Chains A and B, each alone.
Chain A
Amino acid sequence: MSKVTQTIGVTAVELLRQRDEVFLTTCYKEVYPMIESFIIKNSGTSIDAQDITQDAFYLALKKVQDPTFELTSKTSTFIVGIARNLWLKQLTKKGISITQFQAEQEFEELPESELQTFTRIKKLEHAFVKLGEPCTTIIKQFYYFKKSMQEIADMLHYTNAENAKNQKYKCFNRLKKIATE
């Protein structure tokens, strides 16, 4: 029995919540081959498998960040279940017949609203990656690290916070534009 399957319940949830590197590595090592095998059997590639695995881990992370959430299965089963569900949705979206889908037993149901939110966040993430500097820094420091505009202005050697605010406004709108393209 692997470390991941032993590490169930509260401990696993806490480790996932903390994005613990050792835990994530052990978990990834266990679930990725399963997800890859499943996706390749069902019209996908290794690249698809990596994307879906990352998405599944993220959705699992969001789940465990909810204090009311209770993990009732093994962590690996939970993540693989999410991954299968995500891949199924992608196949459906691509118009690949459901009959081609080699159904297996474990799926983690994801509410449509959660998937829609996740789709929006993914678009924003793609836009963020494309944004370029100095916008990436400004946006990240402000919205993620909660730095003040004065701190960002200092970091980027702007003469004052007003310049940084102007730049942030431009960056924010550019990000939205990229996300909607």
Chain B
Amino acid sequence: MRVSKENMVLFDAYLAHELSKSQKNEFLDRLERDTDFKAEFEHYQKESAELNEAIELNEFKNQLKGIHQKTFPPKKLFLLRPNFIIATSIAAVVVLGIFMLNNSNFSSSNDNMALEESQGNEDDIAYTIEEETTEEMVEASEYENNITPSENGSEVEQYSEKKELDSFELNSIFDSAQFIGISYSIQALVGLDTDVLEEVKEFNNDLLSKKGIASGFFVGEGIFISYLPNADLGQQFALRNKDNGLLFAQVVLQLKQERISILSTERTSGTTNGSPINFDDKSSNAFKGQNIYFPKINSNQIISGNISLITSGRIIVNSKSNSSELIGSPAFNEFGELVGFIVDSKLNEIELIPTHKLKLHIENKGILEFLFKSQTERSIENYKAIIWEIIPLKM
């Protein structure tokens, strides 16, 4: 039985005690004399109650999944789902790169980082980087010892399997304010579900092409930052995570040199829908305990922006993949934390920029700074990694 739209609105109003006395009497009267109406109402009540229970089940399962992960952390290797093989392999390539950096020239580049930071009158940041990377080197080394080469000699694949659950576990907690968004590489989108396409179309958008690009940070209702070399200012995208969550975003600012776009995930027109994810305006707590800063920004408030390199490292990876496909991919440390973007590549060489500082000039808020770095966070509790597809929309 399908409840009509008019009746559903009426039923909801009645059940929420929103009807006036006369409307309520009329409603009750109709229930008595109209058996179809009564049946429809009872059916809707039953469906509503079951839906409530289904959501309760979902909430409870999420709680239990969290308990399971804490109580029985995964020890075995997991098979990758095909859609994530490329994404996880990319992460693995970069992680291997980080290991190599740690073992070779990391010390010197680490010194350089501190030096650059000090010169920039940002001693606090410099101190953090120095302290954390030293600790990280020890832990990275410990992790590296646990890597067992696979039969075909590909440490990358072996490592990616180990990383899968740690790095790519979807945060399904609705009200969590902070996320790191990581998009697929282009090839990983081959298996895009058809129902997603339908969903996109339902919002009056035609899918232009299947294309997932680069990495980025999803920051709730505010902005999504991604490497989007071919995007146009004002272009709209659907952002989708692996649980089919769908958001709409529009390019509001482009950093041409870095080929990075800032997308606003708020509602921007009648054909897009706003982000459902709440987050707090933390404008007064910049850099306090967190290295990623999430202001609530309306697209028309962004006046200008620039992104600057704070630290850099060059990592050479013996990648068997076509390295050009890695441009814009996320780079992780051994804890599954996002440490930067791959911004350039040559054959078998990848240049990694671990930390960027983005400055946005926001109307009425002045200059806001975002430090893109997560090395100082040991846990990804606050920064759940989510893989996002970025789907261009033809409006």
Contact = CB atoms under 8 A, between A and B. Distances in A.
A17 to B, nearest CB: 12
B201 interface: no
Interface stretch (B56-64, B183-191, B323-331): B56-64
Interface stretch (B28-36, B82-90, B148-156, B241-249): B241-249
Interface of A: 19, 21, 24-25, 28-29, 32, 50, 53-54, 57-58, 61-62, 117, 120-122, 124-125, 127-134, 136-140, 142-144, 146, 148-149, 155-158, 165-167, 169-170, 172-176
Ranked nearest first, the 10 interchain pairs of A and B with the lowest CB-CB distance are A137-B276, A124-B54, A157-B274, A132-B244, A144-B55, A125-B54, A157-B267, A132-B246, A125-B57, A133-B245
B246 to A, nearest CB: 5
B381 interface: no
Interface stretch (B1-9, B102-110, B228-236): B1-9
B50 interface: yes
A54 B61 contact: yes
Contacts of B389: none
Contacts of B58: 125, 128-129
Given A121-B53, A143-B52, A28 B245 contact: no
Given A32-B72, A148-B16, A156-B276, 12 more contacts: A28-B71, A50-B65, A57-B60, A117-B50, A124-B54, A128-B54, A131-B244, A132-B246, A134-B246, A136-B174, A144-B59, A156-B267
Contacts of A61: 60
A134 B276 contact: yes
Contacts of A134: 246, 273-274, 276
B278 interface: yes
A61 B247 CA distance: 33
B71 A133 contact: no
Contacts of A128: 51, 54-55, 58
B243 A121 contact: no
A93 B63 CA distance: 28
Contacts of A139: 51, 55
Contacts of A172: 8
Nearest to A152: B276
A133 to B, nearest CB: 5
Nearest to B200: A132
B379 interface: no
Question: Of A29, A53, A129, A138, which is in contact with the most chain B CB atoms at under 10 Å from its CB?
Answer: A129
B202 interface: yes
Given A133-B247, A133-B276, A28 B64 contact: yes
**On chain B, which size bracket covers the interface?**
35 or more
A46 to B, nearest CB: 9
15 contacts: A19-B63, A121-B50, A129-B58, A131-B244, A133-B245, A134-B246, A138-B276, A139-B55, A140-B55, A143-B48, A143-B51, A156-B274, A165-B9, A165-B12, A170-B202
A27 to B, nearest CB: 9
B137 to A, nearest CB: 34
Nearest to B13: A149
B165 to A, nearest CB: 12
A48 to B, nearest CB: 13
A31 to B, nearest CB: 11
Interface string B297-315: 0000000000000000000
Question: Of B53, B68, B195, which is in contact with the most chain A CB atoms at under 10 Å from its CB?
Answer: B53
Nearest to B54: A124
Nearest to B273: A134
Contacts of A169: 5, 8-9
Nearest to A142: B12
A170 B53 CA distance: 20
A112 to B, nearest CB: 17
Interface in B238-271: 240, 243-247, 266-267
Contacts of A149: 12
A97 B245 CA distance: 40
Contacts of A146: 16
Contact of A143 (B9, B55, B67): B55
Question: Of B244, B266, B278, which is in contact with the most chain A CB atoms at under 10 Å from its CB?
Answer: B244
B81 interface: no
B50 A24 contact: no
A176 B57 CA distance: 17
A19 B64 CA distance: 10
B145 to A, nearest CB: 26
A120 B47 CA distance: 10
Nearest to B49: A143
A136 B276 contact: yes
Nearest to A51: B61
Contacts of B245: 132-133, 136
B169 interface: no
B64 A156 contact: no
